[in-house]
Amino acid sequence: MRIRELNVNEEPPIDLLLLADPSRKLIEEYLNRGKCYIAENNKEITGVYVLLPTRPETVELVNIAVPENEQGKGIGKQLLMDAIQQSKVKGYKTIEVGTGNSSLGQLALYQKCGFRITSVDSDFFIRHYDEKIFENGIWCRDMIRLAQNLN
Ligand code: COA
């Protein structure tokens, strides 16, 4: 498996990006301003992530996704480690990520890779999404913000 930046002439894997974020509008916005990376295995896309510069010296991982039939094999962790490494190489001091209060697997993954919880953006998903989101039997309302220093 190889992870590389998407070329400007290539179409981003929108169906995969929609797995992590149900809002096509938000996805299109951050694709315009950020950088999209894909994991490939024999020309097949096995993962994606998007890094978006936010504040000075800070970058946010705004999307990370692995196709359902490829999940649980360690690809998500490899993508996350690559995103951290890329951010370091590009000279950012902090990488941030946000996830739903109901995204228990994602909260586990981020913390296993060194992220610490910094704050909670209460009612984020109620303000920004039309449909109610449920995961693991939990109503997804709040965004848990996590960050990691890149020294
Ligand atoms: N409790 C504890 N650990 C958990 C867990 C849980 N409920 N769910 C997952 N994990 C751990 C795994 O055990 C693994 O850690 P390990 O290597 O120490 O065992 C780690 O999290 C990730 O496993 P991995 O196989 O690398 O993840 P993946 O390839 O399935 O990718 C996602 C993870 C989140 C990218 C993938 O599930 C996905 O695309 N989900 C849909 C999109 C999405 O929700 N994106 C994130 C939006 S915030």
Taking only the tens of pLDDT, the chain with its 151 residues reads: 999 999 989 999 999 999 999 889 999 999 999 999 999 999 899 999 999 999 999 999 999 999 999 999 999 999 999 999 999 999 999 999 999 999 999 999 999 999 999 999 999 999 988 899 999 999 999 999 999 999 8
Identify the pLDDT of residue 33.
Answer: 96
Q: Which atom of ligand 1 is nearest to the CA of 98?
A: 48
Identify the pLDDT of residue 23.
Answer: 86
Q: Measuring CA to CA, which residue among 62, 68, 31 is closest to residue 128?
A: 62
Element (H, E) at 128: helix 124-128
Identify the pLDDT of residue 47.
Answer: 98
pTM of the predicted model, to two decimals? 0.95
Give the Cα-Cα-Cα angle 128, 120, 68 (nearest 5 degrees).
65
Mutate which of 50, 61, 66 for ligand 1? The one with the most ligand atoms within 8 Å of its CB, which is 66
Q: Measuring CA to CA, which residue among 97, 72, 103 is closest to residue 83?
A: 97
Identify the pLDDT of residue 130.
Answer: 87
Identify the pLDDT of residue 129.
Answer: 86
Please answer whether residues 52 and 101 qualify as being in contact, where contact means their C-beta atoms are separated by less than 8 angstroms: no
Q: Measuring CA to CA, which residue among 58, 48, 55, 54 is closest to residue 88?
A: 58
How far apart, in whole angstroms, are the C-alpha atoms of residue 86 and residue 90?
A: 6
How far apart, in whole angstroms, are the C-alpha atoms of residue 47 and residue 37?
A: 8
Q: Is 77 in the pocket of ligand 1 (CB under 6 A)?
A: yes
CATH class belonging to 2-149: alpha beta
Please answer whether residues 78 and 3 qualify as being in contact, where contact means their C-beta atoms are separated by less than 8 angstroms: yes
Name the residue with the closest Cα to ligand 1, atom 27: 76
Which tokens in the block code for residue 134? 């449920």
